[in-house]
Amino acid sequence: MTFSYKSLLVIFVLIFSGGFPMHVLGGAPDDSSFLKQINRPAYVPQEILVRVKDRVDRDDIQALHRRFGGDSMRRSDRSGIHRVRFGKGVDIERVIERYRASGLVVDAERHAVRYPQAAAVPDDPYYAEQWGVNTVDARNAWSIRRTDRTVVVAVIDTGIDYTHPDLQHSIWVNEAEKNGIKGIDDDGNGYVDDGYGWDFADNDADPMDYAGHGTHVAGIIGAMGDNGIGVAGVSWNVRLMPLKVAGDYTTGMESGDILDALNYALENGATVFNCSFGGPYDSAIEYDKLKILQQSGVMVICAAGNKGTDIDQAGNAMYPASYDLANIIAVAASAKDGSMAGISNYGSISVDLMAPGVDILSAKSVKITAAGANERDLYKLMTGTSMAVPHVSGLVALMRARQPELGLDQIKSAILETVVLDPTAAGKTVSGGRVNFYDALGEMLTPGDITGDDRVQLDDLITTLQILTGILPAGPVVFHPGKSDINADGRIGLEEAIYILNQVSH
């Protein structure tokens, strides 16, 4: 069964006449800025741009415009570009074909419109300095998902400063121990008073970071966004589990402590493991533990290393990044210009993709900040694949918040198949490019699902029609050109409404 334009018109009438109940439509006031964002034209109506060949006589091209019924509004003698407008009813695609066949032009195309990308912009004062967030297109991705408190990322590192003002509300809390009796293993997990994770290096319940590395990594993943403080993590509302595997004021990590941390994270509900570390020697025990994590559906994000070498070559391996396991994503570092950083390791077999890793601004441990320092001193720049890894961990957290049931292969393929290709990564990584948050999350959307609940139902149709008629939808609107845009015109329009209508009717 399909619906005609007449059927669609009936639904419009129902909306205007109150045929749909207000608790379905919502009573939100109009917001023209929102509606313009999601229902704005991709092209200037009835206009094309024509690029004229060199040495074509001006009178000849003007005669061509008149012959096709166009009005040449403006031209640039320097670039040879003519802007031509046509009357209503003229078939623009047909006109473009005729221009291209004339022999007088290099090309002709519809006159595209560009817009400022005013996606979700947090009010964190140093957000403008976070070049990596914009490079991975996190702003547009946040319109699809900003995570939620159900997703736990285990940060296996030098600890996390859980008192940092930009992190304290993102720290995972073991409620049974935090609210339990001091000195008693209230939850029976073998760790006494582990309210904020555990320090495996010193075997105590305080995973405070005195080295700074883990706090910086944690800030990239989950510094609280839009809180008017410092920076914004790529996953605003994720929970960060501090698992300290390096002693105070040191960065060396013993594999035995790392194995204990992996086990703790698995038993306490973390589904994304950030491993911004590595070493040159493999371990059968470590491999087996990571394979158990794979069987449990845990994604492990690992650093490729910072020696600028090919880790696929004998003697250059970097573990755990070099393990051939489906749940490992190994990450190289990219520079501000999008190219692979000179310090970054690579490998066409072992290293999956790049992420920002040079001069990354993130949280600095309060414990290593001088007394009397100002707020800006609680943040610092760091460089390395250690900084690239948490960008990808944050993306996986966004994906898991969006669809908790996603399999490891689905997560990995969505990330690798949507990278921004870059020649410096070609032949040096599996994907040949740099992570793109918006497109990876867009892969998870269902065509016609405008409300973002992974189903095409009546609420999607109602929301689409509200947008078309200038009513501000009461609920969420999710839009990605790769999945939501049925007719590829860059907006939610009539074609989307007809498509959804037919889906709902089946």
Q: Which residues have a catalytic role annotated?
A: 157, 213, 386
H or E, element range at 265:
helix 255-267
Q: Which residues contact 176 (CB under 8 A, 6 or more apart)?
A: 186, 187
> How far apart, in whole angstroms, are the C-alpha atoms of residue 337 and residue 353?
16
- 210-223 burial: b if 16+ Cβ within 10 Å, else e: bbbbbbbbbbbbbb
Q: Which two tokens stand for residue 418?
A: 């949507």
Alpha-carbon distance of 442 to 455, in angstroms, equals 15
CB 421 within 8 A of CB 448: no
Asked if the bond preceding 320 is cis, omega within 30° of 0, the reply is yes
Q: Left, alpha or beta for 218 (phi > 0: left; psi -120 to 50: alpha)? A: alpha
Q: Give me the numbers of helices (H) and strands (E) for the chain, helices first please.
A: 16, 15
CA distances from 62 to 53, 82, 84 (A): 13, 10, 10
Q: Which of 278, 272, 340 is nearest to 304 (CA)?
A: 278
Tell me how far apart the alpha carbons of residues 177 and 196 are, in angstroms, rounded to a whole number: 9
> Which helix H or strand E contains 16, and what residues bound it?
helix 5-16
Strand partners, 421: 433
One-character DSSP codes across 421-443: E-TTTTTTSSSSEE--HHHHHHT
Residue type, 248: D
